[in-house]
Amino acid sequence: MIRKELRVALIGQGSMGRAHSNAYAQVGHFFDTPFSIRRQVICGRNAETLGGMAARWGWEETATDWRQVIDRPDIDIVDVATPNTMHAEMAIAAARAGKIVFCEKPLAVSVEEAERMVEAARRVPNMVWFNYRRVPAIAYTRRLIEEDRIGRVFHYRAAYLQEWGNDPKRPPNWKMYRATAGSGVLGDLLSHLVDTALYLNGPIAEVSALQHTFAEGRDIDDATLLLARFANGSVGTFEATRYAVGRRNSNCFEIHGARGMARFDLEDLNRLDFHDATEPAATAGARRLLVTGPDQPYAGVFWRPGHIIGYEHTFIAALGDFLAALADGREFHPGFDDGLAVERVLDAVARSAVSRAWTQVPAGSPISPPVPKFT
Considering only residues 238 to 267 of the shown chain, the ones binding a copy of itself according to CB under 8 A are 239, 241, 243-249, 256-261, 263, 267
The reply on whether position 375 binds a copy of itself by CB under 8 A is: no
In this complex, which beta carbon is closest to a copy of itself, that of residue 42 or of residue 101?
A: 42
CB of 277 to a copy of itself, least distance (A): 5
Residues 6+ apart with CB under 8 A from 92: 116, 117, 120, 121
Q: Rounded to the nearest whole angstrom, what is the least distance from the CB of residue 338 to a copy of itself in the complex?
A: 23
Q: Which of 295, 329, 364, 366 binds a copy of itself (CB under 8 A)?
A: 295
Q: Does 210 bind a copy of itself (CB under 8 A)?
A: yes
Instruction: Count Cβ neighbours within 10 Å for each residue of 221-242 and write b for 16 or more, e otherwise.
Output: bbbbbbebbbbbebebebbbbb
Half-sphere exposure of 232 (CA within 13 A, CB side): 22
Angle between helices 336-355 and 191-201 (to 10 degrees): 110
Does residue 229 belong to the site contacting a copy of itself (CB under 8 A)?
A: yes
CA–CA separation, 282 vs 276, rounded Å? 12
Interacting span for a copy of itself (CB under 8 A) from 85-93, 101-109, 202-210, 362-370: 202-210
Query: Which residue, 308 or 325, is less far from a copy of itself as judged by CB?
Result: 308
Reference 154, options 239, 261, 238, 227; nearest CA is 261
**354 is a site residue for a copy of itself (CB under 8 A):** no
Cis omega (within 30 of 0) for bond into 334: yes
Beta-sheet strand order (sheet of 36-43) = 61-63, 36-43, 5-11, 77-80, 100-103, 126-128
Asked whether the beta carbons of 80 and 51 are under 8 A apart, the reply is no
Nearer to a copy of itself, 122 or 304 (CB): 304
Nearer residue to a copy of itself within complex by CB, 191 or 352: 352
Cα separation, 182 vs 106, whole angstroms: 10
Q: Which is nearer to a copy of itself, 68 or 360 (CB)?
A: 360
Q: Which is nearer to a copy of itself, 115 or 358 (CB)?
A: 358
Site for a copy of itself in 36-95 (CB under 8 A): 56-57
- Round the CA-based radius of gyration of the chain to a whole number and report it: 20
- CA 261 – CA 311 distance, rounded (Å): 24
Exactly one of 174, 177, 358, 374 binds a copy of itself (CB under 8 A); that residue is: 358
Query: If DSSP states are collapsed to H, E and C, what string results for 229-273?
Result: EECCCCEEEEEEECCCCCCCEEEEEEEEECCEEEEEEHHHCCEEE
Cβ of residue 179: shortest distance to a copy of itself, in angstroms?
23
- As a whole number of angstroms, the distance between CA 294 and CA 255 comes to 23
Region near a copy of itself per CB under 8 A, out of 102-110, 121-129, 286-294, 337-345: 286-294
Does the protein bind a copy of itself through residue 351 (CB under 8 A)?
A: no
296 lines the binding site for a copy of itself (CB under 8 A): yes
Which residue in 5, 112, 173, 303 binds a copy of itself (CB under 8 A)? 303
Residue 202 as a binder of a copy of itself (CB under 8 A): the answer is no
Residue from 175, 271, 333, 344 that binds a copy of itself (CB under 8 A)?
Answer: 271
